[in-house]
């Protein structure tokens, strides 16, 4: 654990809270959307709690050296360039999308440095990647069915899916075929 990772994680969590709370209390879309956001907030709080208190000693500082500050800075710059309008809520929402798009990079960096991962870790990363990849057909559907196109979400989502693409290939060729997850040398 280092200060950059800690504040990077807190920034990621803060971006979620800001996005979810602002949206949760200012706009009502549906019961499904509201309940999903409440569950997501609760699970995010629990995840951070477990990481900080239960698994803190399993973090290897010599392996976990990714400079998170660049991700936060890049997300901040992207949120100022790619936003719908320059209001606090829109820029914060855009920041959360861009930060989410690159938030997996420290984990992928660790996978590359160690060359392998536990099955639970690979399944977790795969599920995160599939979540974003499935939004691509959602955007296509919404464009044709509703005439809705959100270029900020689409650009950040494509970036995020591209970041996962190499992991998807290795996951498919190794884990889905019953082999241990190891990166090719």
Query: Whose CA is closest to 121, among 134, 135, 104?
Result: 104
Span 161-183, average pLDDT? 81
Each residue of 80-108: pLDDT tens digit?
999 999 998 889 889 989 999 998 898 88
- How much is the pTM? 0.76
In order of 12, 90, 167, the CA distances from 143 in angstroms are: 29, 21, 28
- Measured in degrees and rounded to the nearest 5, phi and psi for residue 116 equal -155, 170
Structure tokens at 7: 């504040």
Q: Are 3 and 90 in contact (CB under 8 A)?
A: no
Dist. CA 33–CA 24, nearest whole Å: 9
């Amino acid at each position: 654990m280092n200060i950059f990772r800690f504040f990077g994680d807190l920034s990621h969590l803060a971006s979620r809270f800001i996005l979810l709370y602002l949206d949760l209390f200012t706009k009502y879309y549906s019961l499904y959307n509201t309940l999903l956001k409440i569950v997501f907030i609760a699970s995010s709080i629990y995840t951070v709690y477990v990481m900080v208190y239960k698994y803190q000693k399993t973090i290897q500082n010599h392996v976990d050296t990714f400079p998170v500050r660049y991700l936060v800075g890049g997300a901040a710059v992207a949120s100022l360039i790619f936003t719908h309008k320059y209001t606090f809520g829109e820029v914060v929402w855009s920041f959360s999308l861009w930060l989410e798009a690159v938030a997996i990079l420290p984990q992928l960096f660790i996978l590359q440095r160690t060359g392998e991962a536990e099955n639970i870790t690979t399944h977790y990363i795969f599920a995160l990647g599939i979540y974003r990849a499935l939004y691509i057909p959602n955007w296509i559907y919404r464009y044709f069915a509703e005439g809705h196109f959100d270029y900020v979400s689409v650009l950040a989502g494509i970036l995020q899916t591209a970041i996962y693409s190499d992991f998807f290939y290795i996951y498919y060729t190794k884990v889905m075929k019953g082999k241990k997850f190891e990166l090719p040398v």
